[in-house]
Structure 1
Amino acid sequence: MTWTEGIISRQPRTEEIKWPESGLPYMARQHAREYGNWHKTFLTHNDPIPVALEDDFKALLKPRLKPRDGEIAREADLRYLPLARVVVNEHRHRIYYVYPGKSKPQVFILPSSQRTWQIAGAALAVLTVLYLLSRLLS
């Protein structure tokens, strides 16, 4: 008599896709994650891709949904949030990020890169003056 046993297991491979990969500041991304009213959808390889998704993201998604050799099907859980980046001429030093919230539109404000450099330059100038004063007085 021969005793034979084996275990065949299939672990699902999970791939996370974030789009766009860059271009949205970390602070704005975190705020949108927490307060945004995200659209959620579940897709299999047979389902049509939602029209609301950006064409570039659709191009990333389509080849990943096709079943590979030995697979029965593929599925994807998607969540997406329309977001607008707004710069108003009267407030060029601010960038507004607007997206749908749970009950009303959310607006997140960040300083422009030019304003950030101005603030950093002013802080550096103050630190330099303080350093020179401390050297002069000691």
Structure 2
Amino acid sequence: MTWTEGVITRRPVVEKVKVSTPVLPYGAWRSARAHGDWTDVRVVGERASLARDVDTRVAAILEPRLLPCEDEVGRRVTLRHLSLARVTLASHPHRVYFVVPAPGGPPHVAVWPSEKRARLIGAVALAALVALVVVWRLLA
């Protein structure tokens, strides 16, 4: 009698790919992640279905990553996407509104300062810091 025992371990390789452009501010991205009605696209098997299920720009970015690897048994691609609106109003020039469609309810709106306002806030903070250092040096 011969007893044979072994363990077969397969470690899946998971690669996260971010394709979105333009870059969202962190607060708007967090809001979209939390409140957005994301659409999942799953591609199993042949790569030909990728081209018909996703945008051509996204498919072109993913194609090189979908080449078969050595000893590969199968592959699954899971994508999720969210369409949202970036809105600026003439009456509020220093704000940018990101409108995120919410699942089964009214859209969620995230308000973020415009790039010009963010630079102004940074400049004011830097000026306050410089003034604080100057006053501290004069008193020391």
Q: Specify the TM-score bucket, using the shorter chain as the normaliser.
A: 0.7 to 0.9
Match of 2:34 in 1: 34
The alpha-carbon deviation at position 13 of structure 1 amounts to: 0.8
Write out aligned runs for 1:36-75 (5 A). 36-46=36-46, 48-49=49-50, 53-75=54-76
The alpha-carbon deviation at position 137 of structure 1 amounts to: 7.8
Structure 2-normalised TM-score?
0.74
Identity %: 39
Q: What secondary structure, in the 3-state scheme, does the structure 2 residue paired with 1:17 have? A: coil
Which deviates more from structure 2 when the two are superposed, residues 54-63 or residues 101-110?
Answer: 54-63
Match of 1:120 in 2: 122
Q: Which structure has more RCO (C-alpha within 8 Å, separation ≥ 6)?
A: 2
Code of the residue aligned with 1:11 in structure 2: it is R
Q: What secondary structure, in the 3-state scheme, does the structure 2 residue paired with 1:94 have? A: strand
**C-alpha distance 71-126 of structure 1, shift in aligned 2 (>3 A):** closer
**Residue 11 in structure 1 maps to residue 8 in structure 2:** no
Q: Distance in 2 between matches of 1:130 and 1:81?
A: 44
Unaligned runs of 5+ residues in structure 2 are: none
**C-alpha distance 83-3 of structure 1, shift in aligned 2 (>3 A):** same
Unaligned runs of 5+ residues in structure 1 are: none
Q: What secondary structure, in the 3-state scheme, does the structure 1 residue paired with 2:50 have? A: coil
Number of corresponding residues: 138
The alpha-carbon deviation at position 54 of structure 1 amounts to: 3.6
